[in-house]
Amino acid sequence: MSTIELNGTLRFELLPDGRRVRLTRIYRVAVRGIMIGIPVGCVTDFASIPRFLWRILPPWDQHAPAAVIHDWLYQSGIMTRAETDLVFLWAMEDLGVAAWKRLAMYWGVRLGGWVAWSNYRKAKKQT
């Protein structure tokens, strides 16, 4: 039984680098009762997966909404990193992402996400 609530289709524009997109509409979601509002202008690359893995774990697929949620939570810092990664896992489960795929992606962010998390925290301190 899914407990994720999405407010419709993700609306975005492709950025000139051809890899990232910017949201053009507010995206509101509820993941297991946690309400998250992702603002217009949020930039995402969906899932930051090394290119050599794209055949088995593409950056955009069924998990795309979960990846956008995860990117926003990393950028905003409104939750801890551990909480953010857990929301990512829950959202993928609720979206029906296969267990092997969601666990691979979850452990990928648990092991390597600290780099992006640290970069976002440093950038926030500078502003």
C-alpha 30/C-alpha 81 separation (Å) is 18
Predicted TM-score (pTM) of the model is: 0.89
C-alpha 49/C-alpha 67 separation (Å) is 11
Query: Tens of pLDDT along 80-96?
Result: 999 999 999 999 999 99
pLDDT exceeds 50 at position 1: no
> Please, is 29 exposed, middle or buried when counting C-beta atoms within 10 Å of its C-beta (0-12, 13-18, 19+)?
buried
